[in-house]
């Protein structure tokens, strides 16, 4: 009777093991099919939204540069337009904006910057039009000699009293070495925004990060290739395109990382406005915020001159280059360079996104509405609130609101063991079932062999006696 029970147990175990092998094989096959991208399929996308960040820009365009001198947002976020005469001021007030009478028109301010550009280039200098003070501000860092500073001061004096001279601490440098780090033999930079030409996808990042042909990796062992730089503009501009090695950006292409496994969903593009609160993300210093202080800035880096930049008081450090600047989910710029650091503060310049997209002939990648819903993104009736993560709270007093936040895909943060084991796209559970079934088969075979050897010894001993 005991032998019968043993045979039944062995048979049941063998049947269970064989069933486990079949089940495990099915699970692995399904996981492989779930993670494979169907041939010819594409992630549904929609056209990026173009956002007007300052309504005063339309008034400036309507009145013309001879009657205006820029526009900015006041502390309450309301548009202010600088005008040169009362008639223009009345038109601005009628349109619902605040008017400020100034002495110099935009034409005069642009003439001043043109004169500065034509002067001999001095590395370590920069200038920007300050709309709020109606001046052109010329800055020189600690590397500029006394003689060069004197020559530049004489040039400014010849232009007029509306050119203001300032010495700054630190040095104006490109921020080579944010949101996600990318590495090459030339150094470390940051992925900015994902863009597409309709056929292939690219990373839009800083041009000074590396020349055309540079190969980028996601790790410092050069095993996880991201892609290769296929278009670069630096100096003059500061942007480049890194084409993905796979051709596609993949899921979460509309999200930029802000730390702690969170990201901001990017919904469109816009032009920065003076006075606008903005956020910047970088792999070195994380999420930082500040204000746009000037537009159309020119910086004379040691490597060359770059013009048309956005000036901000957001800090940055080496390693933040190419990282995204945004406001309320709107892409505004990519980190170029600046002076100072995130301990003492400083000035950072950004390449405008809209200009880079226009010159490169690409568009920002944003997910289609149906995809957004599938990824837990906002809908008009159920919009997620901005993240209150420690990263944001540490750098912004009060409640920081960089835009709608969402978990960053592909980072693995926050995934529990149970969720990973039950994920149908994970081949691990299937392999575990197969391994367990093989162990059971080997065990039943071993047990049977041991029992046969024991029975043989008993029989041999009995017959020998």
- pLDDT attached to residue 380: 33
DSSP output for 64-79: -TTTEEEEEE-TTS-E
The C-alpha atoms of residue 384 and residue 374 are separated, in whole angstroms, by 14
Q: In the chain, what percentage of residues exceed pLDDT 90?
A: 49
Average pLDDT, the chain: 79
pLDDT classification of 361: cutoffs 50, 70, 90: very high
pLDDT classification of 25: cutoffs 50, 70, 90: low
Token pair recorded at residue 29? 């096959």
Question: Which of 74-78, 194-198, 427-431 is the least confident region?
Answer: 427-431
The C-alpha atoms of residue 337 and residue 349 are separated, in whole angstroms, by 5
Higher local confidence (pLDDT), 177 or 351: 351
> Look-up: residue for tokens 């630190």?
170
- pLDDT attached to residue 46: 73
- Tell which phi-psi region holds residue 32, choosing left (phi > 0), alpha (psi between -120 and 50) or beta: alpha
Question: Residue 306: exposed, middle, or buried by beta-carbon count in 10 A (0-12, 13-18, 19+)?
Answer: buried
> Using an 8 Å Cβ cutoff, are 333 and 310 in contact?
yes
CA-atom Rg of the chain in angstroms: 31
The pTM of this model reads 0.72
Distances (CA, A) of 346 to 164, 343, 349: 19, 9, 10
- Decide if pLDDT at 24 tops 90: no
pLDDT classification of 386: cutoffs 50, 70, 90: very low
- pLDDT attached to residue 285: 87
Higher local confidence (pLDDT), 184 or 349: 349
pLDDT tens for 84-113 read: 999 999 999 999 999 999 999 999 999 999
Residue 200: count other Cβ atoms within 10 Å of its Cβ.
Answer: 17
**DSSP type of residue 197:** -
- Decide if pLDDT at 341 tops 80: yes
CA nearest 110: which of 66, 55, 63, 61? 66
- Decide if pLDDT at 186 tops 50: yes
> Using an 8 Å Cβ cutoff, are 297 and 311 in contact?
yes
Please provide the size of the chain in residues. Answer: 465
Token pair recorded at residue 155? 């040039």
pLDDT tens for 431-445 read: 666 667 676 666 666
- Decide if pLDDT at 427 tops 90: no
Higher local confidence (pLDDT), 312 or 449: 312
The C-alpha atoms of residue 446 and residue 448 are separated, in whole angstroms, by 5
Across residues 126-143, what is the average pLDDT? 95
Across residues 261-275, what is the average pLDDT? 91
For the annotated catalytic residues, the residue numbers are 208, 238, 321
Token pair recorded at residue 303? 């490597």
Across residues 329-351, what is the average pLDDT? 93
The C-alpha atoms of residue 299 and residue 280 are separated, in whole angstroms, by 19
- pLDDT attached to residue 426: 58
The C-alpha atoms of residue 153 and residue 165 are separated, in whole angstroms, by 7
pLDDT tens for 366-379 read: 866 544 443 333 33
């Amino acid at each position: 009777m005991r032998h019968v029970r043993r045979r039944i147990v062995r048979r049941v175990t063998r049947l269970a093991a064989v069933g486990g092998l079949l089940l495990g094989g099915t699970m692995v096959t399904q996981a492989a099919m779930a993670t494979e991208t169907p041939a010819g399929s594409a992630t549904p996308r929609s056209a990026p939204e173009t956002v007007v960040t300052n309504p005063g820009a339309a008034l400036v365009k309507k009145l013309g540069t001879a009657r205006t001198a820029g526009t900015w947002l006041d502390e309450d976020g309301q548009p202010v337009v600088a005008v040169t005469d009362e008639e223009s001021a009345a038109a601005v007030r009628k349109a619902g904006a605040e008017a400020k009478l100034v002495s110099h028109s935009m034409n005069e301010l642009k003439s001043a910057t043109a004169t500065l550009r034509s002067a001999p280039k001095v590395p370590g200098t920069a200038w920007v039009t300050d709309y709020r003070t109606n001046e052109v501000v010329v800055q020189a860092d600690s590397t500029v000699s006394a003689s060069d500073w004197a020559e530049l001061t004489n040039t400014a004096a010849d232009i007029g009293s509306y050119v203001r001279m300032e010495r700054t601490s630190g040095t104006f440098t490109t921020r080579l070495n944010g949101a996600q780090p990318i590495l090459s033999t030339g150094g470390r930079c940051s992925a900015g925004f994902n863009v597409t030409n309709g056929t292939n996808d690219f990373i839009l990042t800083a041009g000074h990060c590396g020349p055309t042909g540079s190969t980028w990796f996601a790790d410092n062992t050069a095993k996880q290739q991201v892609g290769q730089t296929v278009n670069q503009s630096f100096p003059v501009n500061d942007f480049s395109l890194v084409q993905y090695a796979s051709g596609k950006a993949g899921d979460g292409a509309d999200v930029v990382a802000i730390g702690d496994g969170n990201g901001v969903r990017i919904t469109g593009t816009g032009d920065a406005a003076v006075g606008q609160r903005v956020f910047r993300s970088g792999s070195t210093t994380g999420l930082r915020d500040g204000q746009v202080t000037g537009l159309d800035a020119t910086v004379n880096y040691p490597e060359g001159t770059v013009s048309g930049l956005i000036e901000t008081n957001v800090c940055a450090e080496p390693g933040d280059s190419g990282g995204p600047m945004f406001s309320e989910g709107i892409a505004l710029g990519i980190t170029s360079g600046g002076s100072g650091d995130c301990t003492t503060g400083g000035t950072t310049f950004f390449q405008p996104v809209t200009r880079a997209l226009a010159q490169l002939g690409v568009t920002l990648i944003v997910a289609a509405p149906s995809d957004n819903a599938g990824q837990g993104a906002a809908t008009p009736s159920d919009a997620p609130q901005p993240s209150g993560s420690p990263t944001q709270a540490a750098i912004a007093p009060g409640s920081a609101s960089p835009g709608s936040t969402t978990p960053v895909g592909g980072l693995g943060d926050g995934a529990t063991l149970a969720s990973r084991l039950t994920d149908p796209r994970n081949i691990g559970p299937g392999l575990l079932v197969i391994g367990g079934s093989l162990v059971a088969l080997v065990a039943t075979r071993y047990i049977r062999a041991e029992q046969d050897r024991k029975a043989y010894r008993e029989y041999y001993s009995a017959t020998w006696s």
